[in-house]
Amino acid sequence: MTRFLVKRIGMMIVTLFLIALLTFVLMHAVPGGPFTSDKQVSKAVMDALNEKYKLNDPLWKQFLDYMRGLVRFDLGPSFKYQGKTVNDFISNGLPYSAKLGAITLVFVLCASIPMGIISALRNGKWQDMLVMALATVGVTIPSFVIATGLIYFFSFKLGWTPVYGVDKWQGYILPVIAMGGYSVSFLARLMRSSLLDVMGQDYIRTARAKGISETRVILKHALRNALIPVITVLGPTVANLLTGSFVIEKIFAIPGMGGYFVNSVTQRDYTTIMGMTVFYAAFLIAMVFIVDLFYCLIDPRIKYD
């Protein structure tokens, strides 16, 4: 187990380094620079800016400087927002994104797993049809359409929830539904097919033959095995939800991380692009790692040596 952990952590660091390197190279290969604004500045100002942010240094030196900051968790100053650092964006935005994401995650789990179970156990009946119809809608309709529709009916027409922001707890309701819609649908379908598959296995028949109650068969024998594929996709899903959705944050005017991530790319805000990418990548890798550890708990047959 120790060997496995050391190996995995080593791999994670290498992966992160490669992601940083690749992002850095691609970012500088894209035409346009961070200091093109809506009004042209003179050459003298441009020179001063390039000098200040060390953009005149050779690329390899810029990269080394950046990595030196990164190991100290210093993501550098934003090139676009004066007096702000990338750490500011993360420390301000992450709490919003993470809180929204955590609530969405709870919603996703509480909705999708029961939906999948019901639809698998009532395979072919009206309950199954209903769940699968909902799931199809959730997968096919993009979140921004759901979000706009929800605001229009519940905030604008009925006035039950605020139009924007999360100052009040009611503000979380619509973004959570809009953001979680896809994951709920996806996980419900996955849960259903996985459970159906397990229910047809020999050991379930054996368990039933032994005279164990149906509830116990499902909870103890079927569900535990059926959850493995769901847990596999849960890692990336958690990372996705917690780091924020640009679209949802934009529509509901939530000051999370998503907006900075996307805007930094069009604005060529180099340090912000790097910082957000590396942060997101680290988060994703960590989540996948945690999921791998969870496998052992769920399925004793899986062992890491």
Distance CA 288, CA 269 (A): 29
Stretch that binds another protein, among 43-51, 99-107, 189-197, 208-216 (CB under 8 A): 43-51
Which string of DSSP letters, residue by residue, matches 114-135? HHHHHHHHTTTSHHHHHHHHHH
Decide if residue 152 touches another protein (CB under 8 A). Answer: yes
| Structure tokens given for 31 | 């035409």
Stretch that binds another protein, among 100-108, 201-209, 232-240, 245-253 (CB under 8 A): 245-253
Decide if residue 200 touches another protein (CB under 8 A). Answer: no
Q: Minimum distance between the CB of residue 44 and another protein, rounded to whole angstroms?
A: 7
Q: Are 122 and 128 in contact (CB under 8 A)?
A: yes
Q: Are 231 and 294 in contact (CB under 8 A)?
A: yes
- CB nearer to another protein: pick between 67 and 265: 265
Site pattern 252..281 for another protein (x: CB under 8 A) = xx-xx--xx-----xxx-------------
Of residues 2-31, those binding another protein (CB under 8 A):
30-31
| Structure tokens given for 4 | 């496995």
User: How many residues does this entry show for the chain?
Assistant: 305
Distance CA 79, CA 94 (A): 20
Decide if residue 165 touches another protein (CB under 8 A). Answer: yes
Q: How far is CA 107 from the centre of its chain?
A: 15
HSE value, Cβ hemisphere, 13 Å, CA-based, for 217: 19
Which residue from 37, 211, 300, 305 is in contact with another protein, where contact means CB under 8 A? 37
Q: Minimum distance between the CB of residue 20 and another protein, rounded to whole angstroms?
A: 22
- CB nearer to another protein: pick between 54 and 220: 54
Of residues 69-128, those binding another protein (CB under 8 A):
80-84, 88-89, 92-93
Which residues contact residue 226 at a Cβ distance below 8 angstroms, ignoring those fewer than 6 apart? Answer: 191, 194, 195, 197, 198
Q: Minimum distance between the CB of residue 213 and another protein, rounded to whole angstroms?
A: 51
Which residue from 159, 200, 211, 300 is in contact with another protein, where contact means CB under 8 A? 159
What element of type H or E holds 96?
helix 86-121
Decide if residue 45 touches another protein (CB under 8 A). Answer: yes
Q: Minimum distance between the CB of residue 169 and another protein, rounded to whole angstroms?
A: 16
Decide if residue 63 touches another protein (CB under 8 A). Answer: no
Distances (CA, A) of 256 to 89, 232, 243, 261, 262: 8, 26, 8, 10, 12
The contact set with another protein (CB under 8 A) reads 30-34, 36-45, 48-49, 51-52, 80-84, 88-89, 92-93, 148, 151-152, 155-156, 159, 162-165, 250-253, 255-256, 259-260, 266-268
